[in-house]
Amino acid sequence: MPTGNVVLVGFMGAGKSVCGRLLARRLGRCFVETDDMIVARDGRPIPVIFRQDGEDVFRRLETEAVAALRLKSSDVIATGGGLPCREGRMDALRELGTVVWLRGDLAELLARARRTGARPMLNGRTPEEIESLYRAREPFYARAHLTVDTAGLGIDQVVARLVGALRGPHAARL
Ligand code: S3P
């Protein structure tokens, strides 16, 4: 039974990668990203997987990544923004350790997501469509053990909040 991981979930631009990497360093843990696992296994960058094979194939690769995560213990794990938002995925993540939702203000998340890296899920979508994607995902993220609000905060402040939240009542699970 794998335990003791910290699993970060949240929408694109939430800072799961950058804050997760820093958190891992602070805690002396290994850091792993599901998107990196997928790219390493498939051999293609994520935008190319979406372009050539479509979203469904990418989501299947995510299922394989979630299965592979069962081998991890005591790691900090950053998940792709859409990974928790499928039937059974939050249950699987919650079994890996403490799940933390990095919740942010949508406008801020989108500005950051568009600044950093390619996001196929944002391409060709109107602001209204993106907002409804976000709203549809929120109930999945809300099943995290802990929520850290990131609105208006810098990376160091978010990491400090994460460390604080993980020292709370959930610390026993770490
Ligand atoms: C996705 C988010 C991306 C990546 C893929 C799909 C999504 O990860 O997994 O482009 O569906 O929200 P980030 O959340 O790190 O951008």
Residues 77, 5 contacting (CB under 8 angstroms): yes
Residue 155 or 173, more confident: 155
- For residue 96, which of 72, 65, 78, 80 has the smallest C-alpha distance? 72
Residues 76, 24 contacting (CB under 8 angstroms): yes
Closest ligand 1 atom, CA of 119? 10
What long-range pairs does 110-118 form, CB within 8 A, spacing at least 24?
A: 110/12, 110/13, 111/13, 112/13, 112/15, 113/11, 113/12, 113/13, 114/13, 116/13, 118/45, 118/46, 118/47
- CA 30 to ligand 1 center in whole angstroms: 21
Q: Give yes or no for residue 15 CB within 6 A of ligand 1.
A: no
Whether this prediction's pTM lies above 0.85 is answered by yes
- CA 79 to ligand 1 center in whole angstroms: 8
Q: Which tens digit of pLDDT belongs to each residue from 3-25?
A: 699 999 999 999 999 999 999 99
Q: Which tens digit of pLDDT belongs to each residue from 85-139?
A: 999 999 999 999 999 999 999 999 999 999 887 899 999 999 999 999 999 999 9
DSSP class of residue 165? H
Q: Which tens digit of pLDDT belongs to each residue from 45-93?
A: 999 999 999 999 999 999 999 999 999 999 999 999 999 999 999 999 9
Closest ligand 1 atom, CA of 38? 9
What pLDDT, on a 0 to 100 scale, did the predictor assign at position 44? 97
Report the C-alpha gap between 122 and 114 in whole angstroms.
Answer: 8
Q: Give yes or no for residue 84 CB within 6 A of ligand 1.
A: no
- The mean pLDDT value for 137-151 works out to 97
| Residue 28 burial class via C-beta count within 10 angstroms: exposed 0-12, middle 13-18, buried 19 and up | exposed
- For residue 68, which of 100, 99, 93, 98 has the smallest C-alpha distance? 93
Residues 162, 23 contacting (CB under 8 angstroms): yes
Residue 2 has pLDDT above 50, yes or no: no
Residue 1 has pLDDT above 50, yes or no: no
What pLDDT, on a 0 to 100 scale, did the predictor assign at position 168? 80
Q: Which tens digit of pLDDT belongs to each residue from 157-173?
A: 999 999 999 998 765 45
- CA 169 to ligand 1 center in whole angstroms: 30
Q: Give yes or no for residue 82 CB within 6 A of ligand 1.
A: yes
What pLDDT, on a 0 to 100 scale, did the predictor assign at position 170? 61
